[in-house]
Amino acid sequence: MKKHGVLHAELSQQIAALGHKDTFMIGDAGMPIPKGVPIIDLAVTKGVPTFRQVMDAVLEEAEVEGYTLAEEIRTENPELQTYIEQKLTGKEENFLPHDELKRRSAQVKFAIRTGEFTPYPNVILRAGVVF
C-alpha cells in the first residue's frame, strides 16, 4: 500500500500517465465536464474536498509548466487566483472567458471534480517535464 502522496488509485494512475504537454483539469462541483472526458469525482459534499486541498495534492505529484484560468476569476474570486498564481509561480499563465474554458475542457486528458462551491475555481493544467 502507498504510504504518502495521492492515494486515490485512479487519480494516481492518471497523473502517472501524463506526458509532456498533456492537459488536465481541476474543477468545482458544478463544472460541466464534456462527454468522453474521464472524470475523477472526488466531491463528497459542499466544500469537501476543497479545490486547494486537491490542487496541493496534485502539485506534489505532477510537474506543471502552464495553466489556464477563466478571466472571471479576476473579479469573482481574486483570493483563489492569488493562491493559484503563488502555487504556480513562474509557470505560463493564460486567461480565457469562462465559456471558452468550458469548451477547452473537452480536450483535457482527464478532469478532477472537487467539492468546491466558490466562483470560478477551475483550472486547466499543462504537464511539464522533470529535468
Neighbour tally for 46: CB within 10 Å: 9
Instruction: Name the one residue in this structure whose C-alpha cell is 472524470.
Output: 39
Query: What percent of the chain clears pLDDT 70, i.e. is strictly above it?
Result: 100
Active site residues: 20
Whole-number pLDDT of residue 1: 79
Helix, strand, coil percentages, rounded to 5, for the chain: 35, 25, 45
pTM for this prediction = 0.96
Whole-number pLDDT of residue 2: 81
Prior bond to 49 cis, omega within 30?
A: yes
User: Are β-strands 64-70 and 123-127 bridged in parallel, bridged antiparallel, or unpaired?
Assistant: antiparallel
Which grid coordinates are listed for 30? 458544478
pLDDT digits (tens, 9 = 90+) for 50-68: 999 999 999 999 999 999 9
Residue 73 has pLDDT above 90, yes or no: yes
Residue 131 has pLDDT above 90, yes or no: no
Nearest to 115 by CA among 10, 38, 44: 44
